[in-house]
Amino acid sequence: MFTRKPSALVAQALCAGALSTVVATATPASAQTLVPCSATALSTAIADANASGGGVLVLAPGCTYGLTTPLPEITSLIAISARHSTITRVSTSSFGILSVSPSGNLALTDATITNGDAPDFGGGIANRGTLTVIGSAIRENHANFSGGIGGGTGTTTRIVNTSIMRNTANVNGGGVANDGDMTITNSRIIDNTAGGAGGGAANDGTLRIVTSNVNENHAGRAGGVANFGGGTTTIVSSNVNNNTSAVAPGGVLNSGGSVILTSSRVNGNQPTNCAGSDVPVPNCRD
């Protein structure tokens, strides 16, 4: 639904462990690649890591990698330690920033991903394989579906200690959209916009939002979180507050499948919190 499918509760420690596994498996520390502050060097480093079956790429600290052409798709096991660098599109051409193929496994830390403009899904990061994002900022990206991060069918996406802000989607999932298995932990999904539903997040797979804030997002319907089809959305110890939409509900929408709220707050959304949902959302008050 969200990705025009091509050809068709995890704790923070577990997510951090996943990153360690990727780094350890990709290549030994002695084989880490230091990537100079150059978009061309970053593109070459990704291509070389793909060709060699994986690698650990260590970016220049505080660098801005300005892309004029798309980066190679991640097709192998790659860890990128960004060291507070930014990867951004500086071209008038439309393309997303990072893309993970079905065979790819990307672990990204300490990065800012911005100004992606994907023609289909995942303006910041389009995941068709396995993706872990830790301690990063995904902001001001755009796509048809999933302006910030998109997880396609059969994918695994883990997002930890990350801000997803001011991204836009023409249709669903301004911040994130998920058709696979996605867990968001200790993160902020703030001020994203969707023309359709799910300004903060849209899901028709399995989505878990844990100890996170989904606040001040905007959409045609369900400014906060939208659950579709047979999807399952579980929101634990989190806030879905002050989101807005043109059509109720403003906070959480369930159009099918199940939405589970556990020790979470859905407050101050306009025009409603959950009233008007196609399927009632238990434990949600208006």
- What is the structure's pLDDT at 16? 44
Domain count, the chain: 2
What is the average pLDDT value for the chain, to the nearest integer? 92
Q: Which residues contact 141 (CB under 8 A, 6 or more apart)?
A: 96, 97, 113, 114, 115, 116, 117, 118, 123, 124, 147, 148, 167, 168
User: With a threshold of 0.85, does the pTM exceed it?
Assistant: yes
Q: Which of 161, 182, 203 represents a domain boundary (last residue)?
A: 182
Classified as helix, coil or strand, 51 is helix
The count of C-alpha atoms lying within 13 angstroms of the C-alpha of 172, restricted to the half-sphere facing its C-beta, is: 21
Residues 81 and 171 in one domain: yes
Q: What are the tokens at 139?
A: 């902001």
Are 177 and 250 contained in the same domain? no
Same domain? 29 vs 134: yes
Domain limits for position 261: 187-286
Same domain assignment for residues 148 and 9 = yes
pLDDT tens track, the chain, 286 positions: 554 433 333 333 444 454 554 454 444 444 799 999 999 999 999 999 999 999 999 999 999 999 999 999 999 999 999 999 999 999 999 999 999 999 999 999 999 999 999 999 999 999 999 999 999 999 999 999 999 999 999 999 999 999 999 999 999 999 999 999 999 999 999 999 999 999 999 999 999 999 999 999 999 999 999 999 999 999 999 999 999 999 999 999 999 999 999 999 999 999 999 999 999 999 999 8
Q: Are residues 75 and 55 in the same domain?
A: yes
